[in-house]
Amino acid sequence: MSEHKPEQKPQWAAFTAAWVGWVLDAFDFTIYIVVAQHMIKEFGVSPTAIGGSLTLTLLVRLAGGFFAGWMADRWGRKLPLMMSLVWFAVFDAAIYFAPTFTWVLVFRTLFGFGMGAEWTAGTSLAMESFPPSKRKLASGILQAGWPVGFLLAAATAYFVVPAFGWRAMFLIAALPAILVIPIRMLVPDGASHVESADSSKGAVKDLLAPGVLKMIILGSLVMALGFVVYYGMVTSHLGLFIEKAHCAPGDAKCLAAAVTHGWNGQIWFNVGMLVGVIGAGWVASRYGVIAALVAPALLMVPAMPMFTGTSGSMMVGAFLGGALGVGYSGVTAVLTTSLFPAHVRARAIGIVYHAGALLAAFVPTLIPWLVKTTDMSLATTVLIVVSSSLVIMSAAVLALRSMITKPAQTVEQLDALPKAEVVSAGMKRTLENPVAVAIVDHEVARATERRAILG
C-alpha cells in the first residue's frame, strides 16, 4: 500500500466516509435494543424472541462481511461501503411498515447482511487512507464511531419515541443513505482500490494460504474473547442496576427508577468507551498495539466490583467499564488490517471480526443460565465471566504475539530451490531461486511491519 498523506482531502474524505458509516452502524444496531420493550408490548413476543433476532443478525453479519470483503478486494472498498448504506436504509425503512414481528425478524435479519458489509469495507478503506505510521491513532478515532452512534441513538429515542412512536426511529435511521452521494463524489476511486502486487487465486483459495489461514484462526479467537467481555458487560448492565435496587415484587416505582439509573449507566459506559478507544489509539502510537490492548484489559479486572455494584460507585464503574473494559477495541481496526496482505485483507478481516462476534454470541444466554443453575447473583456471575475473559484474552495476545509477527513463509520452508544469496532483515541464507528470494523478502517485510505496529 502506498504511503498516502493524511492531510490530503481525498484521504480524509475516505476516512470520514468509513467513520460515518460506523456511526450509522452503531446507531441502527442500538435503536433496535432501545425500542425492544415497545415491540414486545405491541407484538406480544417474549424477550427471548428479541434475543433470537439479535443472534440471527450476527449469523448473517458473517455472510455479509465475507461477501463485501470479496467485493472490496476485487473492485475496491468504496462500492461495498456505499451499497451497505443503501442496504441499511431499505431494511430500516421496511421495519416501519412491518405488520407483524415475523416481518420485523425478516427485515432485521437481512439488515445484518449490510451491517457485516459496512465494517469490512469501511475499516479497510479507513486504515488504507493513512500511512502505517498514522494508523494506530486513526484506528482509535474510527472505533470512536460506535459509542458516538450509541449516544446519538439514545438521544434521538428520548425525543422521538414519546412523540412519534418506536417505528419512527427506523425511518430516521434510513435517512443517512443520502450520504452515498457525497461518498460517491468525494472519495476517489484511487483511494479505495487495492494496490498490491499479489494476484488473487480465488475468493476462498486466497484465504487458505498458509500465513493467511493461521492469522484468521488466531485473530478470530482473540476477537471472540474481546466480544465475550463486551457482550458480558453490555447485555447484563441494566440487570445489574435492577439487582442492586432490591425492588420488592410489584414495586413499579422502584423498578422504573432502577431502569432509569441503568440507562444512565449505559450512557456513562459509552462516554467511557469514547474516551477509551481514542486513548488506546494514542497509547498504541507510542507503545504499540499490544500495550494498548493488554494494559487496559488487566487494569479493568480490579475495577470490576464497581462495575457490578458489589463495591463503590456503579456510575464510576460504568465509565471505567467503557474506558478500560472495552476501550482497547480502539486498536481493533489497526490490529486486524495489519495481519493480512492487501489483496485478501477485506475478506480476512470480515471473517475475523464477525466470526469472533458469532463465537461469543452465546454469552447473553450463558450468564442468565449460570445465575439460574448456580444460585450465584448476577453481579458475581458477570464479575467471574468478564474478569476471567479479560485475563485469558490478555494472556492469549501475549502468547500469540510471536506467532503473529513471524513470517508466514520462512527461509527454511524454501531452502530446496537453486542457490542465491539472501540478506533480509538481518538474516543471511542460501536459496536456489530468485523467486524464492522475493517471497522471503516480502514475508519478512510484512512480519517486520507487524512487529512495528504491535510493539
pLDDT for res 415:
44
Does the pLDDT of residue 241 top 50, yes or no? Answer: yes
Q: Which of 54-68, 115-129, 275-289, 414-428 has the lowest mean pLDDT?
A: 414-428
Does the pLDDT of residue 326 top 90, yes or no? Answer: yes
Task: Record the cell numbers describing residue 426, joined without a space.
Answer: 538481518
The pLDDT of 23-30, averaged and rounded, is 85
- At how many degrees (to 10) do helices 9-34 and 78-96 cross? 30
Residue 182: pLDDT band (50, 70, 90) is confident
Bridge partners (DSSP) of residue 421 are: 430
Residue 250: pLDDT band (50, 70, 90) is confident
Bridge partners (DSSP) of residue 430 are: 421
d(CA 114, CA 361): 19
Task: Annotate 238-281 with DSSP letters as a single string.
Answer: HHHHHHHHTPPTT-HHHHHHHHHHHHHHHHHHHHHHHHHHHHHH
With H, G, I as helix, E, B as strand and everything else as coil, classify residue 131: coil
The residue with greater pLDDT, 427 or 225, is 225
Task: Specify the amino acid at residue 365.
Answer: T
Residue 6: pLDDT band (50, 70, 90) is very low
The pLDDT of 388-395, averaged and rounded, is 95
Is there a common fold for 1-131+163-180 and 205-404?
Answer: yes
What is the torsion angle, in degrees rounded to the nearest 10, for the CA atoms of residue 274, residue 121, residue 168 and residue 232?
A: -50
The residue with greater pLDDT, 178 or 269, is 269
pLDDT for res 1:
43
d(CA 107, CA 282): 39
Does the pLDDT of residue 421 top 60, yes or no? Answer: no
Does the pLDDT of residue 280 top 60, yes or no? Answer: yes
Does the pLDDT of residue 230 top 80, yes or no? Answer: yes
The dihedrals phi and psi of 128, each to the nearest 5 degrees, come to -75, -10
Q: Which of 55-64, 150-159, 309-318 has the lowest mean pLDDT?
A: 55-64
1-131+163-180, which class in CATH?
A: mainly alpha
pLDDT for res 16:
83
Task: Specify the amino acid at residue 433.
Answer: N
The pLDDT of 389-405, averaged and rounded, is 83
Q: What is the pTM of this model?
A: 0.82
- Rg (C-alpha) for the chain, rounded Å, is 23
pLDDT tens for each residue of 75-129: 778 888 888 888 878 898 899 999 999 999 999 888 888 888 888 888 888 888 8
The pLDDT of 2-23, averaged and rounded, is 70
Closest CA to 54 of 360, 276, 293: 360
205-404, which class in CATH?
A: mainly alpha
- In order of 187, 208, 333, 340, the CA distances from 64 in angstroms are 22, 19, 18, 19
Does the pLDDT of residue 169 top 50, yes or no? Answer: yes
Sorted by where each begins, the domain ranges of the chain are 1-131+163-180, 205-404, 411-454
Q: Which of 132-146, 148-162, 207-221 has the lowest mean pLDDT?
A: 207-221
pLDDT for res 43:
92
The residue with greater pLDDT, 77 or 233, is 233
What is the torsion angle, in degrees rounded to the nearest 10, for the CA atoms of residue 66, residue 67, residue 72 and residue 75?
A: 150
Does the pLDDT of residue 408 top 50, yes or no? Answer: no
With H, G, I as helix, E, B as strand and everything else as coil, classify residue 183: helix
